[in-house]
Structure 1
Amino acid sequence: MTFIITTPPAVEPVTLDDARAQVRVTSTQEDDLLTRLIETARQHVERTIRRALITQGWRLYLDDWPPGRVVRLPVTPVQSITSVTMFDADGMPLVLNLGDYDLDGISAPARLKVMAGVGASSRMLNGIEIDFTAGYGDAAANVPAPLRQAILLLVAHWYEHREAGIDAATASIPFGFDALIAGYRVPRL
């Protein structure tokens, strides 16, 4: 199973002003650094908890349907399935109809049930593509406050400790980060 992001989020869950306030900087001289830290912190939180925070597009590649035809999607919460496509041996796509599958976007991890009677791909590798939209919503306000705070905590920590080190302050994630994200972790597939 391979998955990639196809459409990145249009906004970040925290603003540049939020980050400036967190690190207690009033000038705009550090804006480029803070912008990079916000994006990197969001990506770190998303990877750690296996959730998309802001609406984004994803594609999952499968060789074949899993047992029971229940596909566990690698990122949650899933808003919708954009398309499910199977490829024949010549690479010709066959897009499944909406009635050929059912989405359980509430579960963590989210699940897609493919109905019996839907054939298998004749391509040996990556013969099935599932495109889906994931995230809490289009705006920062849709993201749970503890996850936004975890991002700000990372931004401030990385702002203060800009270089790799071996002491506890520079080599670790800041105290409180795990507590903020604990209730949002999705189990590994």
Structure 2
Amino acid sequence: MTPILVAGPAVEPVTLADMRSTLRSEGGEDALIEALIRAARLLVEATSRLALLEQTWRLTLDRWPRDRIVRLPLAPLVGLEAVRVHDGAVFSTLDPGLTALDPLSDPPRLLVDATAPEPGRPMAGIEIVVRAGFGAAPEAVPAPLAQAVRLLVARWFENRGDALDDAPMPPDVAALIAPYRRLRLT
């Protein structure tokens, strides 16, 4: 089940004005700063395995799990938008009464009633659309994660074109993310 981004966040966890102030930039490099903010958010999200700001994702399954519990790879969950099942011709939206969402588990879980229909095709017959993130506004993002974004942007802005060490994540940034990082057992 690979998450597919349907709609990204409307804002970033750090504003352009905030980063301009942090970087002491007069505004001539706004496009670069905005690109760095976006890249830093994506890196913090990938490292923490958390969606920082509200965004919509689609998950596709071939069939229901045997126990009818779908373990969702996105957190924190804001809500369930839709569950659709392909009947062999078209997707139909499942009655919300046939599902129960447990957003507080890690990973979040979706319980599907035994009476929910099976998909009518062998592959990609089920779509689950969810909203994930701490909230829609930058203030909803935990302060240490927003600070991790700021530190990455500042590091990249100050070291443009310079070869940085091979460490995948600066230690100070990794330390800010560590308490929030979702662990995965494989």
TM-score (norm 2): 0.92
Describe the shift of the 1:69–1:164 C-alpha distance in structure 2 as closer, same or farther (beyond 3 A): farther
Matched, 1:4 2:4: yes
Partner of 2:49: 50
In structure 2, the residue corresponding to 1:44 is in which secondary structure?
A: helix
Distance 2:41 2:182 in 1: 16
Check the 8 A contact 1:153/1:174 in 2, yes or no. no
In structure 1, the residue corresponding to 2:153 is in which secondary structure?
A: helix
Check the 8 A contact 1:4/1:60 in 2, yes or no. yes
Mark the runs of 5 or more structure 2 residues left unpaired by the alignment: none
- RMSD over aligned CA atoms reads 1.6
Query: What is the one-letter code of the residue matched to 2:140?
Result: N
Q: CA deviation at 1:188?
A: 3.0
Partner of 2:98: 100
Mark the runs of 5 or more structure 1 residues left unpaired by the alignment: none
CA displacement, residues 8-67 of structure 1 (integer Å, 9 cap, x when unaligned) = 1111110112212332x2310111110000011111111111211111111001111123
Q: CA deviation at 1:172?
A: 4.1
Describe the shift of the 1:139–1:181 C-alpha distance in structure 2 as closer, same or farther (beyond 3 A): same
Query: What is the one-letter code of the residue matched to 2:82?
Result: S
Describe the shift of the 1:134–1:34 C-alpha distance in structure 2 as closer, same or farther (beyond 3 A): same
Check the 8 A contact 1:164/1:171 in 2, yes or no. no
Matched, 1:174 2:173: no
In structure 1, the residue corresponding to 2:27 is in which secondary structure?
A: coil
Q: Number of matched residues?
A: 185
Query: What is the one-letter code of the residue matched to 1:136?
Result: F
Question: Percent identical across equivalent pairs?
Answer: 46
Describe the shift of the 1:102–1:34 C-alpha distance in structure 2 as closer, same or farther (beyond 3 A): same
Partner of 1:21: 21
Distance 1:185 1:172 in 2: 15
